[in-house]
């Protein structure tokens, strides 16, 4: 028998003065992901909210398929699709007040668009023109973040700063299941809990980090369980149930705004498409798994629930689809125009004031461009 | 049929990516202490398929999909090395290695020194690096200077298919940590390649003259490594039309630095241009130019020039061609080697 196996050996008498700091139990997530659609409680959700969620879900799906098509046409360098995860994206995009901040990762373009970003501006990173095509302050959306989990401490810092200034601003930070393994995830959650920062962390657990399944990512009972160790509540929710995700996030946001500190939410969902258009998902997962999840589609779940409550009919579905087609058409038209980029802008915004060095290099590039233009002029 | 690069293909044309995969396979077959670990290296075979087939052939204990945590990957590799294994770590892209820098700089690079030689770190860190593949932000960095500035690390970068194989074998066999920079835009470059030819297993720290000068009147040495070597070779061809006789030195290894080969070349030609993708200011070229100047001052007909990426964060793919040093920029530098004193008087470009 090892020391750890001896009954009681691991539970020494507490030292004098030891007090439990918090009741552990309220922090623990439920064993099962929280579902709302199809339950009796769903009757309380406002029809307006459901209609809004539905419209955004349908538009979001269309946005994903259109963006994926644009990669095939060479108009986007890469697109990490959120097809199948639209419920998380829509809920995250709608749940915040204007003054709040969203901290997305590279897969979260849709959440940013739902929050109000221009769909084309949201894609510049992935198109390859500029790293970020929008001013983060305009809609309070931080730049889409590619290095995993590195945006999480930013969210904590921003929320902390807002609180120091007396503003009741909440930050919602998005991360994937894989990203929860990074050190930055740990540091962000720990800071948030210690500082009692008004932050909500939403983990979209879509089953895979590129090819690596959750079982190889973590041995935790759920990612929501990780919250307990930091001293914040963990909530587990069905990530394809848009009403449930919205409700859980809304509660967490309310709690944060009211001074209750951070929450970790794990939404259990699935990445229907490959990691990006460059990935071959057949190498690491069977089609049958994808099909099983397609049977749990976020749009179908919501439409069924809404039809049950007579909040949606064929006409309503058609209206949402038309709105989605308009979005897609607009995206297509504008993305089919070549981006006009001025190479001289390479030297903009490296520093507030251009250094002498960069002025020299700009002059060099200017001369090269002029020579190029001269050469091509000669040929005509 | 277990690996994409079976023994039967050893003498056939291969890509650099295949040569790297074969080097890993051969090293694992030759030495059971060689373990591969990283993100997506197992089932998927890596996002560039370099490790394709290794998990199947050697088992998941020797080619392991890790949790997604670069500091964790390199940190556990330290412990594995402490216990006698030879970890080969894959960092998925250049800019994603940064979370591991704490382990790299605080431990990997100085463990031998801290332990007065008792605890070597035979770790190879493979880093797909550099631009030119249209990657979005954080997928194109040239981070060699950070590694070069850290004593205790070897830093190598192959430019040919054969060197990719040979240098990776040498890196894995090395009892010191090696940062193995894989120029990703050369992954798909092809060559007739035989893994058996002994000259294709260069020791770490040996540069090579890729293209000798032929004794022409206006001669110069182009010094480069990794993805810039093909650029220099092309420039050397093009420069013939201008009457220039250019020698191209491929460093292969930045640390240790082969002063002998480089300086012998510069003494022959009398002029030198260093070419690399990394930013120029505080970049590798500054160190190289200083060394050449210190050792060959009396042989130089002109100052050592540098052709480098601009001193800007790596640009978006639509503009990267303006950032990356290409043939024209190298030729411009060569033209400036016709040293005239007025050039110093404020005409610096
Ligand atoms: C620090 C860092 N390491 C590696 C990568 C490369 N990479 C991009 S996405 C990805 C998988 C992410 O999985 P997950 O966090 O589950 O998010 P998902 O893609 O499933 O939304 C990896 C390894 C990265 N972007 N950043």
pLDDT in tens, B30-70: 999 999 999 999 999 999 999 999 999 999 999 999 999 99
* Residue of B136, B188, B313 to mutate, interface with A, max A Cβ within 10 Å: B136
A128, A217, A284: residue with CB nearest B136: A128
Among residues A33, A31, A85, the alpha carbon closest in space to that of A207 is found at A85
Which pLDDT does position B343 carry in this prediction?
Answer: 47
Rounded distance between C-alpha atoms, residue B2 and residue B14, angstroms: 17
Atom of ligand 1 nearest to the CA of A210: 11
Percent over 70 (pLDDT), chain A: 94
Among residues A247, A253, A156, A148, the alpha carbon closest in space to that of A197 is found at A156
- Cross-chain Cβ contact B99/A184 below 8 Å: yes
pLDDT at A53 > cutoff 90: yes
Beta carbon of B68 within 6 Å of any ligand 1 atom: yes
pLDDT tens track for A319-366: 999 999 999 999 999 999 988 899 999 999 999 999 999 999 999 999
Rounded to the nearest integer, the mean pLDDT of chain A is 94
Give the distance (Å) from ligand 1 centre to CA of residue A108.
12
Q: Is the pTM value of this prediction over 0.90?
A: yes
Rounded distance between C-alpha atoms, residue A261 and residue A283, angstroms: 42
The mean pLDDT value for A168-176 works out to 98
Name beta bridge partners: B125: B89, B179
Residue A139 structure tokens: 């809609």
Q: Which residue has the tokens 């308009």?
A: A326
The mean pLDDT value for A52-56 works out to 98
Percent over 90 (pLDDT), chain A: 88
pLDDT at A17 > cutoff 80: no
Rounded distance between C-alpha atoms, residue A241 and residue A39, angstroms: 11
Residue B139 among the catalytic residues: yes
Which pLDDT does position B215 carry in this prediction?
Answer: 87
pLDDT tier, A1 (very low <50, low <70, confident <90, very high otherwise): low
The mean pLDDT value for A157-181 works out to 98
Beta carbon of B92 within 6 Å of any ligand 1 atom: yes
Atom of ligand 1 nearest to the CA of B138: 25
- What are the start-end ranges of the H helices in A44-133? 47-72, 86-94, 109-114, 124-127
Q: Around Cβ B73, how many Cβ atoms within 10 Å? A: 27
pLDDT at A378 > cutoff 80: no
Q: Hey, is A263 helix, strand or coil?
A: strand
The mean pLDDT value for A129-142 works out to 94
pLDDT at A157 > cutoff 80: yes
- Cross-chain Cβ contact A209/B39 below 8 Å: yes
* Residue of A143, A151, A216 to mutate, interface with B, max B Cβ within 10 Å: A216
Beta carbon of A239 within 6 Å of any ligand 1 atom: no
Among residues A226, A155, A156, the alpha carbon closest in space to that of A192 is found at A156
Residue A327 structure tokens: 């979005």
- Cross-chain Cβ contact B319/A148 below 8 Å: no
Residue A94 structure tokens: 């709608």
Give the distance (Å) from ligand 1 centre to CA of residue A209.
6
Tell me whether strands B86-90 and B124-129 are parallel, antiparallel or unpaired.
Answer: parallel
The mean pLDDT value for A146-172 works out to 97
Which pLDDT does position B217 carry in this prediction?
Answer: 86
Name beta bridge partners: A30: none
Q: How many CA atoms lie within 13 A of B135 on its CB side?
A: 20
CA-nearest residue, atom 21 of ligand 1: A176
Question: Residue A44: is it exposed, middle or buried by C-beta count within 10 angstroms (0-12/13-18/19+)?
Answer: exposed
DSSP A92-113: HHHSS-TTSEEE-BTT-HHHHH
Phi and psi at B210, nearest 5°, equal: -80, -30
Q: Which residue numbers in chain B have pLDDT < 70?
A: 1-13, 192-201, 340-349
ipTM score for this prediction: 0.91
Chain B residues within 8 A of A343 when measuring between CB atoms: 319, 322
pLDDT at A279 > cutoff 90: yes
Alpha carbon distances (Å) from A88 to A61, A233, A296, B90: 12, 19, 14, 32
- What are the start-end ranges of the H helices in B197-345? 228-239, 259-269, 284-296, 320-323, 327-336
Question: Directed axis angle between helix A47-72 and helix A242-257, to 10°?
Answer: 110
Beta carbon of A210 within 6 Å of any ligand 1 atom: yes
- Is the CB of B316 inside 8 Å of chain A's CB atoms? yes
Q: Which long-range contacts (CB under 8 A, 24 or more apart) does B138-142 make?
A: B138/A146, B138/A147, B138/B93, B138/B95, B138/B96, B139/A146, B139/B93, B139/B94, B139/B95, B140/B94, B140/B95, B140/B314, B140/B317, B140/B320, B141/B94, B141/B95, B141/B314, B142/B94, B142/B276, B142/B277, B142/B278, B142/B279, B142/B309, B142/B314
Beta carbon of B69 within 6 Å of any ligand 1 atom: no
pLDDT at A380 > cutoff 60: no
Mutate to test the pocket of ligand 1, among A178, A239, A269, A281 (most ligand atoms within 8 A of CB): A178
Residue A243 structure tokens: 């009403």
The mean pLDDT value for A70-94 works out to 96
């Amino acid at each position: 028998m090892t020391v750890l196996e001896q009954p009681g050996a691991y539970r020494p008498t507490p030292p004098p003065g030891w007090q439990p700091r918090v009741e552990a139990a309220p922090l623990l997530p439920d064993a099962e992901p929280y579902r709302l659609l199809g339950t009796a409680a769903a009757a309380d959700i406002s029809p307006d909210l459901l209609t809004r969620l539905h419209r955004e879900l349908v538009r979001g799906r269309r946005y994903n398929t259109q963006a994926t098509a644009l990669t095939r046409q060479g108009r986007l360098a890469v697109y990490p699709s959120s097809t199948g995860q639209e419920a998380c994206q829509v809920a995250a995009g709608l749940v915040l007040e204007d003054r709040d901040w969203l901290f997305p990762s590279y897969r979260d373009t849709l959440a940013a668009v739902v929050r109000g970003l221009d769909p084309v501006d949201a894609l510049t990173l992935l198109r390859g023109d500029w790293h970020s095509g929008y001013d983060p302050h305009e809609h309070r959306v931080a730049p889409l973040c590619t290095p995993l989990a590195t945006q999480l401490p930013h969210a904590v810092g921003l929320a902390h700063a807002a609180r120091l200034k007396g503003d009741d601003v909440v930050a919602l930070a998005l991360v994937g299941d894989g990203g929860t393994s990074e050190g930055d995830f740990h540091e962000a959650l720990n800071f948030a809990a210690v500082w009692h920062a008004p932050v909500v962390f939403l983990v979209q657990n879509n089953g895979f980090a590129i090819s690596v399944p959750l079982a190889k990512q973590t041995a935790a009972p759920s990612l929501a369980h990780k919250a307990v160790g930091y001293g914040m509540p963990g909530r587990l929710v069905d990530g394809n149930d848009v009403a449930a995700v919205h409700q859980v996030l809304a509660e967490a946001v309310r709690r944060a705004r009211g001074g209750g500190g951070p929450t970790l939410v794990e939404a259990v969902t699935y990445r229907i498409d490959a990691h990006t258009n460059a990935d071959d998902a057949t190498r690491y997962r069977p089609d049958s798994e994808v099909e099983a999840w397609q049977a749990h589609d976020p749009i179908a779940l919501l439409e069924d629930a809404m039809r049950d409550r007579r909040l949606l009919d064929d006409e309503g579905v058609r209206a949402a689809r038309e709105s989605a087609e308009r979005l897609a058409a607009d995206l297509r038209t504008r993305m089919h125009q070549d981006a006009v980029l001025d190479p001289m802008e390479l030297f903009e915004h490296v520093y507030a004031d251009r250094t002498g060095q960069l002025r020299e290099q700009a002059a060099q590039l200017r001369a090269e461009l002029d020579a190029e233009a001269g050469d091509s002029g000669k040929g005509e | 049929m277990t690996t994409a690069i079976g023994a039967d293909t050893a003498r056939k044309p291969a890509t650099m990516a295949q040569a790297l995969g074969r080097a890993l396979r051969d090293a694992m077959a030759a030495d059971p202490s060689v373990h591969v670990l990283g993100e997506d290296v197992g089932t998927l075979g890596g996002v560039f398929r370099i490790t394709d087939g290794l998990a199947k052939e050697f088992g998941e204990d020797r080619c392991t999909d890790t949790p997604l945590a670069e500091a964790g990957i390199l940190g556990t590799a330290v412990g594995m090395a402490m216990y006698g294994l030879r970890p080969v770590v894959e960092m998925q892209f250049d800019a994603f290695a940064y979370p591991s820098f704490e382990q790299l700089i605080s431990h990997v690079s100085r463990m031998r020194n801290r332990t007065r030689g008792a605890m070597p770190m035979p770790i190879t860190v493979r880093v797909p690096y550099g631009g030119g593949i249209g990657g979005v932000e954080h997928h194109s960095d040239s981070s060699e200077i950070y590694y070069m500035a850290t004593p205790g690390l070897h830093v190598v970068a192959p430019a040919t298919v054969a060197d990719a194989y040979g240098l990776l074998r040498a890196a894995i066999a090395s009892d010191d940590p090696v940062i193995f920079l894989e120029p990703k835009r050369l992954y798909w470059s092809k060559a007739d390649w035989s893994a058996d030819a002994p000259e294709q297993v260069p020791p770490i720290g040996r540069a090579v003259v890729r293209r000798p000068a032929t004794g022409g009147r206006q001669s110069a040495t182009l010094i480069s490594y990794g993805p810039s070597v093909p650029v220099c070779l092309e420039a050397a061809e093009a420069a013939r039309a201008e009457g220039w006789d250019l020698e191209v030195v491929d460093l292969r290894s930045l640390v240790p630095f082969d002063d002998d080969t480089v300086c012998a070349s510069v003494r022959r030609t009398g002029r030198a241009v260093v070419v690399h993708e990394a930013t120029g200011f505080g970049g590798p070229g500054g160190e190289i130019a200083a060394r050449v100047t210190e050792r060959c001052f009396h042989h130089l007909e002109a100052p050592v020039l540098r052709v480098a990426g601009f001193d800007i964060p790596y640009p978006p793919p639509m503009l990267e061609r303006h950032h990356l040093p290409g043939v024209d920029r190298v030729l411009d530098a060569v033209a400036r080697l016709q040293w005239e004193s007025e050039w110093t008087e404020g005409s610096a470009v």
